[in-house]
Amino acid sequence: MSGRAPQVERLLGLFTAACGLAFAVAVIPRQTEAFDYGALAPADVPLGAAWTMVGAGLAQAARPRGQGEREAYDFAVLRRAGLLLGLCVGAAMLMQWRGFVVAAPLLAAAVMLLVGERRPGWLAVGIFAVPALIWATVTLLLARPLP
């Protein structure tokens, strides 16, 4: 089993790079519209994320981190990751139903509490200020609608 973990890391890196390339070349250009206004084109941020996936995947494929030993899975971490995934899916559904202004603060509160943040000041910033800043940036500065 000495070479198995690096091999899996390389395959995962190549898969991530391939997904990023597919997004950058096929999905994002077909799913975004071009506009004449705004500082950024609608595809700029998604394309940046897709090319970041390509770079990170290639970096992982080139220099895998695993040492060949089987790592134990921490199921508590897996449960929290599943809960986070469920929160994101629920927030996306709520956003379609009630919009960004309602869903974003609720998701921010849930995620902050999930990761253990309990300080009132930071909770207030994360729940109210960050979604408000995102809303203002997207709707006012970039002139794009939010759900």
Q: Which pLDDT score is estimated for 19?
A: 96
Which range (47-51, 65-69, 102-106, 140-144) has the least confidence?
A: 65-69
pLDDT (mean) for 76-91? 91
Q: How many CA atoms lie within 13 A of 101 on its CB side?
A: 3
pLDDT (mean) for 48-59? 96
User: How far apart, in whole angstroms, are the C-alpha atoms of residue 135 and residue 22?
Assistant: 29
Q: How many residues does the chain have?
A: 147
Summarize pLDDT for 3-14 with one digit per residue, the tens.
566 788 889 999
How much is the CA Rg of the chain, to the nearest whole Å? 19
Q: The pTM is what?
A: 0.61
